[in-house]
Chains A and B, each alone.
Chain A
Amino acid sequence: MASDIRNLADEEVMQLVQGGNPRAFELLYDRHGGAAFSLAYRMVGNRVTAEDITQEAFLSIWRSRTRYDQARGSVRTWVLGIVHNRAIDALRRGMVHDRRRETLDGVEERHEARERTDVEAARREEARGVRDALDTLPEEQRRTIELAYFGGFSHSQIAEMLEMPIGTVKGRMRLGLEKMRKQLTGVVLPGELA
């Protein structure tokens, strides 16, 4: 039975999760827990806080599982969106600023994931493609996007940090995403780029 579940697509697994199936939820975690933890770590720079955020996010997913709507995006996008929101909340509550400074580079805490499956290898390739797309942006656009998305800073905080008008910050975010969107065609895994 377990092997049958493992063969299901994410959206099918999610249907079982919505029915309250803990085994299906475990599989959901196995598929996306690594990406969730990695995103949280990238944002807060600390393994302990990243674990807290990932745990909070997955328990929130379990408790609000009926709210997933396939029409609004893939399961992976939904999961990572929830992790991102939790991490931003943590950053803005000031929970992690001090810890983040302690391990700003985070080098000593990084442990690269093992490549165990073809899917993981494909995701690594996808990650490289997205990083390449980010790298094609003008420096000021890339920096603005990274400060907002990964740093959890608001547009007004970024404007203050970079000493530029808020309108300029917003414009760079929009232009940067537009350019990324064009660069990403063919990079992101099938079904993930609308």
Chain B
Amino acid sequence: MKRFMMKYLMLNCKEATLLMAKKEEGKLSLGGRLQLSMHTSMCSFCRKFEKQTRQIAKESPHVHAEDSLSAAAQEKFLRLIDEHSTN
């Protein structure tokens, strides 16, 4: 019985990392959140995963290219704007 309870209550790392994605969106039930925090309190790998993934999420909206827009494209846009604003 005890073993059954443990198996039922304890997540493995694969399940825990999936639930983290759901938690991030507020789509995890109270039971799920308890199971998850029980797992992360004991698993340093999953703690690292959660922290590092959060950092990636935080930086992702700021990703931008450094390539500049070609002069040809800029000229084309200028012409287009000119054409379309003088009718």
A and B together in one complex? no
Binding site for A on B (CB under 8 A): none
